[in-house]
Amino acid sequence: MDETSYYLSELSVPERNPEEELEEKRERLLQEIAEYHGPGKGYTNRLRKFMETNGIWELKDLDYGWRIQYEKELKKELRPDRLRWHLRGFDHLKQYSMRKSGRLWAERKPPGYFYENCVLFLPYHPVQELVKRMDNAQERPDWIWDFSLPVSEQMKRQIYACLNYFLKEKGDAGLLRTRLSALQMFYQFCAEKRIEDIEQINLLQTQEYQRVTEEKNPEAFRILNICRKVLFLQAEEIHWNANVWYLERLHLESERMNPAKLVVSLSFVEVTHDGNRRLLQKYMKYGLGLTNLTINSLQSEMLDIREILQGMKEDACEITESQMIRYLRQLQEQKIKPETFNRKLMALQHFYNFLLAKRYIFKIPFRVEYYLKKTMPMHHNRSVSQEIEEEILNNLYQLPEHLRLMYLHLWGLGLRISEVCRLKGDAYYIQGRDAWIQIYQTKMKNYKRIPIPWALYQLMQVYLKRNGITADKYVFPNTKGGAYRSGTFRAQMIGWCKRQKFHNGEYLFRPHDYRHKIATYFYDSGVSLQGIRDYLGHNYEEMTQQYIDYMPRKIEKASQEFFKKQGNSLAACLKGGGEE
């Protein structure tokens, strides 16, 4: 058929009668509604008439705007208690249409894929799988999200991403209600304050939001940090300019992490000078990516630098020597130990060495050797007395099994609390006729192996078998299966000791004291300093010496040996009329 013939054939098709088209649309609409057999089936007739009157011929064309119009018309005819059921029937039909169209695949798309600059009524969320648990819930104000507001598009997309995250989050309906209510309040705050980027919220804005939530909903303040974390973790690329970093996103080597004292995030919000905050972020990015320092050490140094930068009004790259002298004098005036002052000063020196190496500056504005304070080695007697040990051991049965065993590792082996908390099932083994334990030392980046009492080995074998703890599992897991937090263990033991009123209520549980006790016991028993150093896992003997409370006992022992010798006793001296 040529073009002319085709054109003539098209012209020969008779025009359809508008009434016939309208009747056909009514039939299709009636058929579509008739196919629905879910909740609200009995409320469809009134809705069908509403749709016909307004020229809505498919269920998919229903939206929140039409729902509002439908509600206005119903209010003229129905009592409030009947109104809710008709609206619910409207919602069920709309959701039926969406779910029938097979858009559930959309859940696999990125969170912002279906964002639209319009009002979102949550039951009509494009990913219906996320809102199924709302089908039978009572309608709430926080189901309505107005993304048409004339505010930052980036901020609105961020709120939408967090909203999707909370809808996906597993939990009961109460948790979802709490999340949505708090997020709604946070969205309103961001819109009112014209916030461009949630990850860039500064200290003043954070404090203002905290004041707002304290008056209305104290729990809502937590949503700020939750949103920061969601956005940082879900980003396709790492947001190095975010004011808070969440280390879970960085996939750092496990050897650099201490699971018993886990560093979850690094906050730069406290540095109010934008330029200085960016410099500190660059320094920490370098530390995380190009050094092999443990994360706890990096965090400690960052906190020291951050404290100094918090007070700086000038750009750290442009600060003069006289201005730096003023800040260092302020640091000197703080009531801190010389060791602490020197640590902070060296952290600042490392920061400026980085700036120098990166050509941000061409000269460091201070001479660190001018300010370092003289430190005197001090030894504190921290060994636990035998009386207190006996009190605790006699009452140890009152504690849960895992706390009893954790305490025995401190008391009997002198391990660090973090070492106890991150022990794994393969830590215990037999070599020859002796029982041993191996512990990974994060600080030293190596394993140490020490002998343990046979009784402790047997106790642990029973415990491991009964609890099904395999070689790669933590011996003392937290509720999520990770390593037991050292802070949690410490707090539980302190609370128990206070309730028991050990040593007339004066004893304060300090887990590190048991390392001092073990070191002192070994030294007093004739073990060499080098042997104790290897047992404790130190690199230097100077560190080991700080753990040995040996002087009083050494003097007493030497005194006893002296007076045991014939002629050295005081009585012999008196009888012989010896000189003073």
Mean pLDDT of the chain: 87
Residue found by looking up tokens 């008709």 in the block: 86
Average pLDDT (242-267) is 93
- Separation CA 423–CA 99 (nearest Å): 49
Task: State the pLDDT at residue 222.
Answer: 93
For residue 189, give the amino acid letter: F
pLDDT digits (tens, 9 = 90+) for 290-311: 988 899 999 999 999 999 999 8
Query: Over 70: is that where the pLDDT of 85 sits?
Result: yes
The helix/strand/coil state of 109 is coil
**pLDDT range class, residue 6, cuts 50, 70, 90:** low
Please give the DSSP secondary-structure letter assigned to residue 482: S
Task: State the pLDDT at residue 231.
Answer: 97
Task: State the pLDDT at residue 520.
Answer: 84
Q: Which helix (H) or strand (E) holds 64?
A: helix 64-75
φ, ψ (nearest 5 deg) of residue 121? -95, 115
* Pairwise pLDDT comparison (209 vs 11), residue with the higher score: 209
Question: Which of these, 276, 227, 285, lies nearest to 252 by C-alpha position?
Answer: 285
Residues 6+ apart with CB under 8 A from 295: 247, 252, 256, 257, 258, 263, 288
DSSP string for residues in 144-155: EEETTSSS-HHH
Q: Which has the minimum average pLDDT: 11-15, 430-434, 462-466, 536-540?
A: 11-15
Here the tokens at position 267 are 């906050």
Average pLDDT (209-218) is 86
Task: State the pLDDT at residue 521.
Answer: 85
Here the tokens at position 483 are 């390593």
For residue 362, give the amino acid letter: F
Average pLDDT (129-148) is 91
Task: State the pLDDT at residue 5.
Answer: 60
**pLDDT range class, residue 579, cuts 50, 70, 90:** very low
φ, ψ (nearest 5 deg) of residue 146? -95, 95
pLDDT digits (tens, 9 = 90+) for 447-504: 889 999 999 999 999 999 999 999 999 999 999 899 999 999 999 999 999 999 998 8
How many CA atoms within 13 Å lie on the side-chain side of 374? 1
Task: State the pLDDT at residue 498.
Answer: 92
% of the chain with per-residue pLDDT over 90: 61
Q: Which has the minimum average pLDDT: 20-34, 150-164, 372-386, 513-527?
A: 372-386
- Separation CA 155–CA 157 (nearest Å): 5
pLDDT digits (tens, 9 = 90+) for 163-194: 999 999 887 888 899 999 999 999 999 999 99
% of the chain with per-residue pLDDT over 70: 88
Query: Over 80: is that where the pLDDT of 542 sits?
Result: no
Task: State the pLDDT at residue 486.
Answer: 92
Task: State the pLDDT at residue 575.
Answer: 45
pLDDT digits (tens, 9 = 90+) for 559-576: 555 556 555 544 444 444
Task: State the pLDDT at residue 106.
Answer: 45
Query: Over 50: is that where the pLDDT of 578 sits?
Result: no
- Separation CA 284–CA 303 (nearest Å): 11
Q: What is the pTM of this model?
A: 0.80
Task: State the pLDDT at residue 107.
Answer: 47
**pLDDT range class, residue 103, cuts 50, 70, 90:** low
**pLDDT range class, residue 419, cuts 50, 70, 90:** very high
Task: State the pLDDT at residue 112.
Answer: 58
Task: State the pLDDT at residue 446.
Answer: 78
Task: State the pLDDT at residue 504.
Answer: 86
> Burial letters for 334-361: b for 16+ Cβ neighbours within 10 Å, e otherwise?
eeeeeeebbebbebbbebbebbeeeebb
